[in-house]
């Protein structure tokens, strides 16, 4: 199973840097989430990339909370982020940081820029600043405050820090080039006034650094060597480099951009995910239909499946949308080897075996896994009345229907062969009972004559099964690209969750994940399930090559 870790353009860059002995050949990456939401599968790609690179090149990967905007951030998110990364199987060791840890240093860096004549306090209002910025095709105009003296800037910046000005009245800007075709270089804001309580620094600051300033410098402080981010920051790289080059810092990080993950039939933006949670379209961040790590975990996805998926999708620079079928493939692949097989009937119809003795109960051994007998087996009770899936009986079967039909013989997994003799219907013509006869010679679901029975179906004994709640999930959205043609919420799938009552065999294996034979992979809901009232989530269905004509 040893797999060649595949190459990508980032590894190529790193290999060149190592060859040139940049940073003494050391590799330090970082995963820098803003604690303003829960992590999702797209973050998993970045996490796997950053931690994976560190591991492959014998380096380390830091976890850094990018908490420079207290108005949007919350400690709840800080906790969930750590939990999710750990659950995915990655370890930052002792390298857990906060951008807010660097506020004092960052402030000093700003002073350094002011003293060098490379930053100034600007009094333009937000609207004025927008006007002065110019447009995509026209140069901007220089701020009238651009040429204040160093002393005046120092004094004003000090007053900003001291809380002497209200929000929005002044900012600190880098003095770069108002006519740059790259808008990011038109004297970007590096500090804004925001009288907001910060979840870590409390009320000690009322000015907060902007991402473009805080990020490269935080990287430099931590001596990050390779700062990997998504494509939309490509335009910011010259600014990233400007700060690193114009300020005396411990490190010399380099920014590399890659394409973020998109998945079809879902949305990935934090804004949309937040809205789904806040407006109760889903039950929470960990709703099993959400593409969040906590949602996938509750749905029954395993860390291995997610990691294998991240390895498989690759890392490149072209915008792309990965098919969810690939994610589903990796859970099936993982659960196939791990999940004990068990029988549950999701849509029951009663079968009465007329020639089976009343009150008789037999127990058949059912292996938990056909490929790994060592994981054991259990005894499954069999009796005169059983339940099978409604879809496993057809009064007028199509061609190549291998299941139960009038006069047709079928194998009951582990038990006997049965043949349908007749059906009982109610007043409205609905079949309420299927009557069968069984072949006593087929005990153990095989016969000495070697006769072929093409179909094998699963079942539960009516009096030896219990009712459980099962939650069936489908894609959260009905179309591959939600929001492409209208508001994304209008593309929400009304049947993304179906709750049903199912019949399941009595004594379940001691496991969280199961394969319900012929149905799919299921897991116990970690939040709502109790021993009195078990609840199962369908992780993913089994593949099926059955297609009725």
Interacting positions 246-285 with RNA (CB under 7 A): 259
- In angstroms, the CA 548 to CA 397 distance is 10
Residue whose entry in the numeric block shows the structure tokens 């790590």: 293
Q: Residue 198 or 299: which CB sits closer to RNA? A: 198
- Alpha-helix runs per DSSP H in 134-279: 150-161, 211-221, 237-246, 270-278
- In angstroms, the CA 346 to CA 358 distance is 26
Give min distance, CB of 433 to RNA, in A: 21
Token pair of 31 as six digits = 């995963």
- In angstroms, the CA 139 to CA 532 distance is 69
481 binds RNA (CB under 7 A): no
Give min distance, CB of 130 to RNA, in A: 5
Q: Which residues are paired to 466 by β-bridges?
A: 504
Q: Which of 43, 45, 161, 215 touches RNA by CB under 7 A?
A: 215
Which residue among 22, 26, 34, 433 is the active-site one? 34
- Per-residue interface string for the shown chain with RNA, residues 220-249, x marking contact by CB under 7 A: -----------xxxxxx-------------
373 binds RNA (CB under 7 A): no
Query: According to CB under 7 A, which residues from 73 to 92 bind RNA?
Result: none
Binding window for RNA (CB under 7 A); candidates: 155-163, 375-383, 407-415, 503-511: 407-415
Give min distance, CB of 423 to RNA, in A: 18
Q: Residue 229 or 497: which CB sits closer to RNA? A: 229
Residue 103, helix vs strand vs coil:
helix
Question: Could you tell me if 262 and 245 are in contact, meaning their C-beta atoms sit under 8 angstroms apart?
Answer: no
150 binds RNA (CB under 7 A): no
Residue 245: half-sphere exposure toward Cβ, Cα within 13 Å: 8
466 Cβ contact partners less than 8 Å away, ≥ 6 residues apart: 503, 504, 506
Q: Which of 93, 94, 137, 532 touches RNA by CB under 7 A?
A: 137
Give min distance, CB of 217 to RNA, in A: 13
- Write out the H or E segment, with its range, that includes residue 216: helix 211-221
Query: According to CB under 7 A, which residues from 189 to 208 bind RNA?
Result: 189, 192-194, 208
Query: According to CB under 7 A, which residues from 22 to 51 bind RNA?
Result: 32, 34
Give min distance, CB of 280 to RNA, in A: 24
518 binds RNA (CB under 7 A): yes
Q: Residue 331 or 497: which CB sits closer to RNA? A: 331
Residue whose entry in the numeric block shows the structure tokens 């857990």: 96
CB atoms within 10 A of CB 40: 25
318 binds RNA (CB under 7 A): yes
Query: According to CB under 7 A, which residues from 498 to 517 bind RNA?
Result: 515, 517
Torsion of CA 392, 396, 398, 402, to 10 degrees: 40
Q: Give one DSSP letter per residue of 333-354, joined into a string.
A: HHHHHHPPEE-EESSEEEEEET
Q: Which of 5, 158, 162, 179 touches RNA by CB under 7 A?
A: 179
Token pair of 47 as six digits = 């996490």
Give min distance, CB of 60 to RNA, in A: 21
Q: Residue 133 or 497: which CB sits closer to RNA? A: 133
314 binds RNA (CB under 7 A): yes
- Alpha-helix runs per DSSP H in 270-356: 270-278, 293-299, 303-313, 324-338
Question: Could you tell me if 331 and 302 are in contact, meaning their C-beta atoms sit under 8 angstroms apart?
Answer: yes
- Per-residue interface string for the shown chain with RNA, residues 416-445, x marking contact by CB under 7 A: ----------------------------xx
Query: According to CB under 7 A, which residues from 451 to 480 bind RNA?
Result: 455-458
Taking CA atoms, 4 is separated from 29, 46, 308, 531, in Å, by 22, 20, 13, 44
Question: Could you tell me if 362 and 382 are in contact, meaning their C-beta atoms sit under 8 angstroms apart?
Answer: yes
3-state helix, strand, coil in the chain (%, to 5): 30, 25, 45
Which residue among 11, 200, 260, 489 is the active-site one? 260
Taking CA atoms, 143 is separated from 123, 176, 257, 408, in Å, by 9, 12, 32, 87
- 367 labelled catalytic: no
- 118 labelled catalytic: no
Q: Residue 17 or 212: which CB sits closer to RNA? A: 212
148 binds RNA (CB under 7 A): no
151 binds RNA (CB under 7 A): no
- In angstroms, the CA 138 to CA 119 distance is 23
313 binds RNA (CB under 7 A): yes
307 binds RNA (CB under 7 A): no
Closest to 37 measured CA to CA, from 77, 4, 85: 77
Please report how the helices 303-313 and 75-88 are oriented relative to each other, as an axis angle in degrees rounded to 10: 80
326 binds RNA (CB under 7 A): yes
Which residue among 270, 307, 332, 403 is the active-site one? 270
Q: Residue 283 or 445: which CB sits closer to RNA? A: 445
- 391 labelled catalytic: no
Closest to 66 measured CA to CA, from 31, 27, 110: 31
Q: Residue 431 or 445: which CB sits closer to RNA? A: 445
124 binds RNA (CB under 7 A): yes
Q: Which of 170, 297, 464, 503 touches RNA by CB under 7 A?
A: 170
129 binds RNA (CB under 7 A): yes
Residues with catalytic function: 34, 260, 270
């Amino acid at each position: 199973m040893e797999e060649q870790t595949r190459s990508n353009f980032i590894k190529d860059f790193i290999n060149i840097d190592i060859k040139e002995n940049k940073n003494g050949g050391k590799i330090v990456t970082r995963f820098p989430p803003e604690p303003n939401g829960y992590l999702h599968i797209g973050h998993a790609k970045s996490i796997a990339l950053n931690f994976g690179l560190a591991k492959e090149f014998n380096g380390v990967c830091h976890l850094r909370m990018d908490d420079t905007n207290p108005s949007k951030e919350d400690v709840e998110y800080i906790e969930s982020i750590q939990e999710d990364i750990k659950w995915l199987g990655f370890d930052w060791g002792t390298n857990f940081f906060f951008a807010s840890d660097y506020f004092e240093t960052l402030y000093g860096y700003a002073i350094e820029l002011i003293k060098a004549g490379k930053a100034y306090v600007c009094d333009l209002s937000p609207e004025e600043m927008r006007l002065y910025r110019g447009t995509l095709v026209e140069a901007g105009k220089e701020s009238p405050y651009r040429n204040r003296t160093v002393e005046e800037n120092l004094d004003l910046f000090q007053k900003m820090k001291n809380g002497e000005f209200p929000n929005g009245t002044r900012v600190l800007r880098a003095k770069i080039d108002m006519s740059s075709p790259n808008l990011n270089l038109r004297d970007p804001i590096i500090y804004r006034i925001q009288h907001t309580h910060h979840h870590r620094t409390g009320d000690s600051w009322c000015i907060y650094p902007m991402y473009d300033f805080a990020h490269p410098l935080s990287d430099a402080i931590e001596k990050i060597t390779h700062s990997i981010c998504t494509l939309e920051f490509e335009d910011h790289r010259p600014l990233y480099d400007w700060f690193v080059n114009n300020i005396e810092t411990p490190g010399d990080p380099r920014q590399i951009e890659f394409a973020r993950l998109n998945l079809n039939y879902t949305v990935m933006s934090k804004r949309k995910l937040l809205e789904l949670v806040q407006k109760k379209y889903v039950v929470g961040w960990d709703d099993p239909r959400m593409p969040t790590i906590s949602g996938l975990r509750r749905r029954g996805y395993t860390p291995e499946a997610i990691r294998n998926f991240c390895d498989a999708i690759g890392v490149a620079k072209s915008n792309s949308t990965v098919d969810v079928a690939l994610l589903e493939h990796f859970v099936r692949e993982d659960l196939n080897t791990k999940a004990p097989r068990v029988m549950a009937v999701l849509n029951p119809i009663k079968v009465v075996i007329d020639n089976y003795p009343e009150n008789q109960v037999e127990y058949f051994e059912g292996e938990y896994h056909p490929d790994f007998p060592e994981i054991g087996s259990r005894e499954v009770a069999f009796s005169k009345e059983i339940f099978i899936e409604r879809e496993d009986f057809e009064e007028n079967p199509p061609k190549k229907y291998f299941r139960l039909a009038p006069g047709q013989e079928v194998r009951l997994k582990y038990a006997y062969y049965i043949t349908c003799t007749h059906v009982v219907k109610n007043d409205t013509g609905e079949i309420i009972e299927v009557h069968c006869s069984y072949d006593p010679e087929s005990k153990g679901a095989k016969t000495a004559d070697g006769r072929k029975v093409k179909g094998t179906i699963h079942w539960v004994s009516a009096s030896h099964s219990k009712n459980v709640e099962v939650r069936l999930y489908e894609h959260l959205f009905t179309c591959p690209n939600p929001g492409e043609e209208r508001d994304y919420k209008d593309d929400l799938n009304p049947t993304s969750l179906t709750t049903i009552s199912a019949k399941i065999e009595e004594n379940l294996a001691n496991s969280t994940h199961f394969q319900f034979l012929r149905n799919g992979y299921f897991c116990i809901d970690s939040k709502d399930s109790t021993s009195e009232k078990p609840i199962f989530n369908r992780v993913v269905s089994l593949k099926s090559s059955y297609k009725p004509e």
